[in-house]
Amino acid sequence: MAVDLQSKEQFVEILRESSEKLVVVDFYSQTCPPCRVMDQALTELARQYPTVGFYKVDIHRLTEVAAQCRITATPTLQFYRNGRSVNEFRGGSRKAIVDAIEAGLSADSGSGEARSAFGVVGHSDVTRLVHKTQSECLNQDDDHPLENVFSEGDSVLASDVDEQMVLHVAFSQAIKLHSIMLKAPADRAPKTIRIFANRTDIGFDDAESTPATQEIEMTEAMYESGGVVNLRYVRFQNVDSLSIFVADNLAGDDVTAISQIAFIGTPLDSANMSGISKSEDGHAH
């Protein structure tokens, strides 16, 4: 959730913090109904963008800060990078907020260049939107669970009684999914993968008999070149969950292992944030 600043000194400190990451400041008033809707939106976005700093300023408590930032209406969002405001708008839809955050993050990753993730230009890494507590893996080794694949590191997801696994992956909001990226130990890397969009009821029998949204045959060369596989984009335009069936592995081993999975695409504006949208002047205080 957004941190409510209590002093001018704290505001100065977050300006210093903006030299290291994008900072979003919500200028609000206790008497402003749209501000409560904005606060809820930022609480959700703070979970989705853990590398972004989210803060709030009560304009009636920190009047000097509000005056210095030229705040004339609430809610007003200001986006800070390297100690200066790089974007601002009053009110705004969830999509406008997300677009501004994505633009700020893209600027961080490379000045003037199109955003990209794992070499896929025009899309971002949306793995941050995975709802981990609602995701699971059937036939996982409990010592090597699913959560290991959602970040880089030495840990792996491994199968248990045989080489097959079914991964049920839930997202916290709908996405347009362009590609997936797989890293795996060479001797236990997945080979045949069947992906089912918006299906959370897939078991092992269903995974083999039900038509998949897309089936992929991984090769050693594909892993060596980065493990990125482009999907049939038109089939993955509104995805809130995936079931991924791993049928076998390249070595024909009894254990399949995955080091990392990343999802590459674009978040959709799935939440109804119309309560935030106001006139150009916002909600005057």
Give the DSSP letter of residue 100.
H
State how far the Cα of 207 lies from the Cα of 244, in Å rounded to an integer.
Answer: 8
State how far the Cα of 174 lies from the Cα of 197, in Å rounded to an integer.
Answer: 11
Please name which of 184, 134, 181, 126 lies closest in space to residue 159, comparing C-alpha atoms. Answer: 184
Tell me which of 32, 130, 146, 257 is the catalytic residue.
Answer: 32
Burial of 112 (0-12, 13-18, 19+ CB in 10 A): exposed
To the query of whether residue 69 is one of the catalytic residues in this protein, the response is: no
**CA of 80: how far to CAs of 42, 88, 108, in Å?**
15, 9, 12
Tell me which of 35, 62, 149, 156 is the catalytic residue.
Answer: 35
To the query of whether residue 35 is one of the catalytic residues in this protein, the response is: yes
Q: Which residues contact 12 (CB under 8 A, 6 or more apart)?
A: none
State how far the Cα of 255 lies from the Cα of 244, in Å rounded to an integer.
Answer: 17
Q: Could you list the active site residues? A: 32, 35
